[in-house]
Amino acid sequence: MRHRGLPRSVDEGIQTMEKGQLVLQKVYTVSKKHDAPRLWLQHIVCETAGFQPGADLFVRIDEDNKQIVVQNQTFEEQDNIHAVSVSSRVNRISGAPRPLVDTCGAKYSSILCIQEKIEINVYRHGDYSQVVVRPLRFRLFESETFEPPADERIRLLTVCSGAGISASLFVDSKYYTAVQEV
């Protein structure tokens, strides 16, 4: 069952959703339940995605892209897909039920590792909601804001430099470039 305006495949859907309809992005730590990784989508994630208590969700484990996709519409592909229900917890102050998703199993262990950080992205397109869960990706060595200098000399960082006399002697030798002094 395909609705008008929805993507034809999971990959196309992920690309379409990631292009501009990101509604929420959170970082959580994976917990365990019955010694298996636990996928726990809290109230804020479920409410942002528009999940209602008692509704069925469809979960696809995409090992090629190292991500888990949870959505409220069926997938056209049938491999690595299972269904879960949205449960709820009653809010103590208002008394209203708030949705949450709690599922666990060894099936998630190829993507999720216990006590590791994951990023949860919520995408919406009308009634169609998609939650993409993937390991947190650190890009420590990619510089997106600074261009590295074309200077190939040895970079010098001096700690406890005082007046900086020794650093200036290194720089005067033309073999070093002073980067920082503390």
Q: CA–CA distance from 45 to each of 59, 104, 126, 157 (Å)?
A: 15, 17, 16, 44
The stretch 153-158 carries a mean pLDDT of: 78
If one counts every other C-beta atom within 10 angstroms of the C-beta of residue 106, the result is 10
Condensed to tens digits (0 to 9), the pLDDT of residues 46-62 reads: 999 999 999 999 999 98
The single residue listed with the structure tokens 């269904």 is 83
**What pLDDT is recorded for position 118?**
92
Q: Which carries the bigger pLDDT value, residue 118 or residue 163?
A: 118
What pLDDT score was predicted for residue 74? Answer: 87
DSSP state at residue 147: P
Are 49 and 129 contacting, i.e. CB atoms less than 8 angstroms apart?
A: yes
Distance CA 93, CA 55 (A): 24
Rounded Cα gap, residues 77 and 44, in angstroms:
29
Distance CA 78, CA 65 (A): 17
89 forms bridges with which residues in the sheet? Answer: 98
What pLDDT digit, counting tens, does each position of 8-38 carry? Answer: 444 444 444 444 489 999 998 899 888 899 9
Q: Please indicate, yes or no, whether the overall pTM of this predicted structure exceeds 0.85.
A: no
Rounded Cα distance between 122 and 21, Å, is 9
> What local confidence, expressed as pLDDT, does residue 9 receive?
44
